Amino acid sequence: MRDREINAIRCGLVSLTLSLHQTPVMAIITTTTTTTTLFHLPSNTHKSKAVSSSFLSLPRSQSPSSSLQFRSLVSDSTSISSRRKLNGNLRRVSVIISAAATTEPLTVLVTGAGGRTGQIVYKKLKERSDQFVARGLVRTQESKEKIGGEDEVFIGDIRDSEAIASAVQGIDALVILTSAVPQMKPGFDPSKGGRPEFFFEDGSYPEQVDWLGQKNQIDAAKAAGVKQIVLVGSMGGTNINHPLNSIGNANILVWKRKAEQYLADSGIPYTIIRAGGLQDKEGGIRELVVGKDDELLETEIRTIARADVAEVCVQALQLEEAKFKAIDLASKPEGTGTPTKDFKALFAQVTTRF
Ligand SMILES: NC(=O)c1ccc[n+]([C@@H]2O[C@H](COP(=O)([O-])OP(=O)(O)OC[C@H]3O[C@@H](n4cnc5c(N)ncnc54)[C@H](OP(=O)(O)O)[C@@H]3O)[C@@H](O)[C@H]2O)c1
């Protein structure tokens, strides 16, 4: 394998010198001080994702630095002057690839795109068309119309794997905002006091929607080579006796947590956002607070605007600091604290993988 890699690199260097100003067949570039990356550049490369999805990274142990490796690989076949020329050419290729990487929009599928938070995420992605190509998955034609009815909105039920498969083809990232929704039992009269009772429709229990439906999405995304999944869940999952679990006797937080664990174990870079109580309020005007293990539930900071959750989802798609993390998320009351603008710093506060 190593011989093949070295041969491939040699071939790449040769083709680079021959065809740098045309379309290089292969190039070796330095991405960081810890890895050297070998790219195949298909002749029709115009999307950076085509480049990055085919990379092969050599770990540090094999590649103490790119220049060192470069020397050892080419010293038997190239003169110093041609090495210099190659180094210069490599730098130029690196610049070209970096430029492509920063300009290419990510194709992102939002499931539950007709839901209250899903709609906002979908809209934000559409508004940032220089950074994202937005896709949606909704359950009904009615939901599709509600969010504009455009072609990139797929209709499908997440309990049906086949219905998801077409929606995930070609996407870079997935934002999961589906959820089992409890229905209020008829006959509740608030004027008489008491509490309403809830139920789930047959086949739409949290086990089917929040566990199996989310598992289906994660499996489909993995099969399609998706590079990141953002999953919105809920705080409260550490407490089996949380009141939400008794709604409809359906253990909603238990099944959500099981799906979160499945995602964390999937190997796909993920961001799990466990939101506090959701509010339909304006976003961007409160200080966001992150936590872990439901500790925030012991404080006064337990709610958050759907618009803020949506913004955190979008930011998570762009920041390395968000990957492989699970965060509890809430906000200070409006007028206290400083509205959050630095999402990189927000994610950097989080150290918990689950
Ligand atoms: N409510 C809260 O206070 C709270 C607190 C913390 C966390 N959360 C979590 O935050 C997330 C977003 O909540 P939200 O209130 O914005 O969501 P929501 O409005 O209830 O939307 C849920 C979406 O899931 C879709 N869905 C349900 N079953 C489906 C199925 N079988 N196939 C495809 N789609 C399906 C629904 O589609 P339809 O439009 O067709 O019904 C709906 O669009 C949820 O995971 C929720 O549990 C909520």
Residue nearest atom 43 of ligand 1, based on CA coordinates:
115
- What span, in angstroms and rounded, lies between the C-alpha atoms of 285 and 295? 23
Half-sphere exposure of 293 (CA within 13 A, CB side): 2
SS (H, E, C) 32-45: CCCCEEEEECCCCC
Q: Is 287 helix (H, G, I), strand (E, B) or coil?
A: coil
Q: What is the mean pLDDT of residues 90-103?
A: 52
Cα(202) to ligand 1 centroid in Å equals 17
To test the ligand 1 pocket, which listed residue (178, 214, 239, 294) has its Cβ within 8 A of the most ligand atoms?
Answer: 178
Mean pLDDT of the chain: 80
- What span, in angstroms and rounded, lies between the C-alpha atoms of 105 and 328? 28
- Which tokens is 219 given? 């499996």
- What span, in angstroms and rounded, lies between the C-alpha atoms of 102 and 334? 35
Q: Is 274 in the pocket of ligand 1 (CB under 6 A)?
A: no
The answer on pLDDT for 11 being more than 90 is no
Distance of CA 160 to the CA centre of its chain: 22
- What span, in angstroms and rounded, lies between the C-alpha atoms of 104 and 124? 17
Express each pLDDT in 58-72 by its tens digit.
333 333 333 323 333
CB 103 within 8 A of CB 166: no
Nearest to 208 by CA among 181, 242, 235, 240: 181
Cα(118) to ligand 1 centroid in Å equals 8
Range with the poorest average pLDDT among 74-83, 114-123, 169-178, 327-336: 74-83
Strands 270-275, 277-279: pairing kind: unpaired
Residue nearest atom 15 of ligand 1, based on CA coordinates:
116
Ligand 1 atom closest to Cα of residue 158 = 32
- Give all domains of the chain, ordered by start, each with its CATH number: 2-103 (no CATH), 106-348 (3.40.50.720)
The answer on pLDDT for 160 being more than 50 is yes
Long-range contacts of 85-90 (CB under 8 A, 24+ apart): 85/17, 86/13, 86/16, 86/17, 89/16, 89/17, 89/20, 90/16, 90/27, 90/28, 90/29, 90/30
The answer on pLDDT for 248 being more than 90 is yes
CB 59 within 8 A of CB 31: no
- Which tokens is 183 given? 């229905």
Q: Is 234 in the pocket of ligand 1 (CB under 6 A)?
A: yes
Q: Has 234 been annotated as catalytic?
A: yes
- What pLDDT score was predicted for residue 189? 87
Strands 228-234, 270-275: pairing kind: parallel
CB 124 within 8 A of CB 311: yes
What confidence tier does 84 reach under pLDDT thresholds 50, 70, 90? low
Express each pLDDT in 252-266 by its tens digit.
999 999 999 999 999
From 234, 246, 266, 331, the catalytic residue = 234
Residue 174, strand partner residues: 109, 229
CB 175 within 8 A of CB 121: yes
